[in-house]
Amino acid sequence: MRDTADTALSDAFLRRPPRDTRATLPRYDRSRIKAGIAHIGVGNFHRVHQALYIERCLHLPGHEDWGIVGIGLGDSASARAKADAYARQDGLYSVTEFAADGTAATRVVGAMVDYLHAPRDPGAVLDLLASPAIRIVSLTITEGGYNIDETSGAFRLDDPDVAADLACARTGELPRTAFGLIVAALALRRAAGLPAFTVMSCDNLRSNGDTARHAVLSYAYTLDTALAAWIDTHAAFPNSMVDRIAPGVSDQQRKRVAAILQAEDAQPAVAEPFTQWVLEDRFSAGRPDLAAAGAVFSDEVHAHEAVKGRMLNASHMLLAYPALQCGYRTVPEAMHDPLLRRLLGSFMERDVIPYLSLPRGVSAHAYKETLLKRFANPAVADQLLRIAHDGAAKIPVFHSQTIANLLAQGADLSRAALLLACFRLYLMGRDGNGAPLAVDEPHFGEADLALLDPNDPLTLLDTSPFAALALGDHPGFVDAYLRIADMIDSAGIRIALAGVLPSGFRTAA
């Protein structure tokens, strides 16, 4: 067995792989691959999702021009270390899929042919984006990265980074944000007579293409109305629905991946076997054959988004906060608790499915059972705190329509009330056993924290993320919320969980 300490993942590894590697390696000639896609925000999700679809495309004839250049915008120590690791590994990394039975399948991904760290050389990033070779600029910058005001829906021009970029654009200095770089590059392409590239959001938010378009055009109109009009006419912003669970990598998984590879990967990624990508076929400068790689082109992306957002993402949020109060730290731990599993099953069956408009060929009940099995996969130990992160932004996105439907129909509000009651407890930084929780809420500001009164549960409804939902104006919701909050305080989280389940409700094992 080869000593992995002496073997690093790199192009040299691909040329002379160890005979006992069990990983799947690229079968195409990587030296012939050129970049046609620039991706901003190379996090775990992009690496196990979009990049793998492109990896499959690169094995198809005539796809040598569809490699990826990754672009990092952050300037933290970890962001610099990531850039250095990709440089050492020639852009290579591994993805390991862990099935529920414990089996693992590792693939070395060669789709990322270069990685640029924008804080070190923003000029190189701008030159790349303005190059005629780049035909798609894709994004995974998180839901909050689009700078959309949650109340007005306007692009936040007063965001400090955006404001700094706008000032730089007027003085000729180079931009640093995603939208500053995209608009500057499109201005250069327009001046050079080049086509506008497609801006393809792969972030997990409703109408992600429309959101990206709104952000780009808002920024552009502030600088140059003629440029903005050109972008509006010539650039494409396809909407898409993306789905795959991509947790962080544990030390144990890292060692297992190294043993499979017979090499050290400084940037391994892990994922569940399931993956899905549904997108609109709207591209302004060509695209790879994503359908041959397993993606689905559809004119019903919004319906697919609604199913996924209101079932998968909403269930994740509903699970995270009460599970943390129970003392659990991973999703599969929580899913082995019958009360929590029944909570998700009843939520989807009673609160969501009756009000969904389904895309063609989709069974909501089959989708529900698939989700419950995916969440329970013990090999993909997704962290509950990762899911709970930024709940102030995500809860309104994934739960507001369901709550509105329940209010309109006079339906049972107890599970929606439980969600907010447990989110309030999470904000206090302790679980139900008194253990500390690392709360990460970038969209819950100091003013919101000052509003919270530990002795008055209703103060949560007055904070900025939830005031727009006007739940405090609905006596039925207030009654349910106070009842659940009091039940948790007086009898504990498990009694409250039992109290929100319909009598006799069961889900498939």
List pLDDT tens digits, range 30-67.
Answer: 999 999 999 999 999 999 999 999 999 999 999 999 99
- What is the assigned CATH class of domain 4-285? alpha beta
Write the single-letter amino acid at 95. V
Q: Domain coordinates of the chain in residue numbers?
A: 4-285, 302-499
Residues 472, 217: Cα–Cα separation, whole Å? 35
What letter would DSSP give residue 6? G
| Whether residue 509 has pLDDT greater than 70 | no
Backbone angles phi, psi at 40, to 5 degrees: -100, 120
Token readout for 179 is 């939208």
Return the pLDDT at 506: 52
If phi > 0 it is left, if psi is from -120 to 50 it is alpha, else beta; for residue 246 that is beta
CB 131 within 8 A of CB 123: no
Q: State the pairing for strand pair 276-279/269-271.
A: unpaired
List pLDDT tens digits, range 409-464.
Answer: 999 999 999 999 999 999 999 999 999 999 999 888 899 999 999 999 999 999 99
CATH superfamily of 302-499: N-(1-d-carboxylethyl)-l-norvaline Dehydrogenase; domain 2 (1.10.1040.10)
| Whether residue 100 has pLDDT greater than 60 | yes
CB 330 within 8 A of CB 381: yes
What is the chain's mean pLDDT, rounded? 94
CB 227 within 8 A of CB 190: yes
Q: Compute CA distances 136 → 67, 71, 113, whole Å.
A: 11, 13, 15
Residues 40, 499: Cα–Cα separation, whole Å? 45
Q: What is the pTM of this model?
A: 0.88
Token readout for 26 is 């690229």
Question: Residue 318's pLDDT band (boundaries 50, 70, 90)?
Answer: very high
List pLDDT tens digits, range 340-364.
Answer: 999 999 999 999 999 999 999 999 9
Q: What is the largest CA-CA distance in the chain?
A: 69
The residue written with tokens 């990033």 in the block is 125
